[in-house]
Amino acid sequence: MGLMRVFAAVVRRDMKLAWSQGGAGGLSIGFFVIAISLFPFGIGADKDLLARIAPGTVWVVAMLAGLISLDRLYQADFEDGSLDGLLLSPLPVELLVLAKTLAHWLAIILPLALMAPLAALLLNMTADGLLWLAVSFLVGTPTLSLLGSVGASLTVAIRRGGVLLALLILPLYVPTLIFGTGVVLAAESGADPTPALALLGAVSLISLIVSPLASAAALRMAAE
């Protein structure tokens, strides 16, 4: 019971930080909306083409938008010393990592998931597509935070580790990208989107198991 209270306190703390001055919440959403809206300008008013690239575009831009906030996930606390305090909290490091990752998802990625159908509207996505895009985001985006946490903890002690973080993490996002767009493409073509959705959920579940263990190990090493 006590541990759950501390867990909830860490989640609240990080959500508060994400949306405070200097937090990444607003930045990520702003980047997401602006980057998506650039595509129609670059590609032109070819509605069919826009509709065809819409699922992949929205997923890729969401991944990049999440990446903007990830390099500060542990680094901000590492630099100002508050990570020392958190590592001394009664929470096991694995749960601490999970709490911070959950806060990242709730504060930064979930708003992106809610914005995604609106953004996809700019790309002329069909109504069926919009619905399944939202579903695929809810099922698939936890992976963005979970695997991102592994990269963020590995690069926590590296100055300007953001680029390295992108190189580490983006390849790991490939399964999520394939199955995430697969869900939307299947729904739009009238096929059954649930097999792709199940695989997307499986990737999220695997990340849920791997991420806390790997991130905790990397953070312990960084504190050394």
Partner 1 sequence: MKIESDILLSGSNLASVRGGRVVYTGLNIQLMAGALITLEGPNGSGKSTLIRQLAGLLSLTAGTLQIAGLDVAEDPGARSDSLHFSGHTNGLKPAFDLATNLTLYSETVLGFRPNRSVLEAATASFDLAALLDTPIRYFSSGQQHRSALARLGLAHRPIWLLDEPTVGLDQANRDRLRTQIELHLAAGGGAIIATHDDLGIAGDILQMTEFRGGRDDPEAWLWD
Rounded to a whole number of angstroms, the minimum distance from the CB of residue 148 to partner 1 is 21
Largest CA distance in the chain: 57
3-class state of residue 119 by DSSP: helix
* Residue of the chain from 15, 18, 63, 86 that contacts partner 1 (CB under 8 A): 86
Q: What is the DSSP letter of 71?
A: T
First to last CA, the chain: 30
Q: Which residues, numbered 92-111, are part of the site for partner 1 (CB under 8 A)?
A: 92
Rounded to a whole number of angstroms, the minimum distance from the CB of residue 218 to partner 1 is 14
| Nearer to partner 1 (CB atom), residue 10 or residue 166 | 10
* Residue of the chain from 46, 174, 209, 220 that contacts partner 1 (CB under 8 A): 220
Taking Cα atoms as reference points, which of 205, 151, 212 lies closest to residue 179?
205
Determine, following the binding rule CB under 8 A, whether residue 81 of this chain makes contact with partner 1. yes
Angle subtended at Cα 55 by Cα 54 and Cα 61, rounded to the nearest 5 degrees: 85
Residues that bind partner 1 (CB under 8 A): 2, 5-6, 9-10, 12-13, 16-17, 20-23, 77, 79-90, 92, 220, 223-224
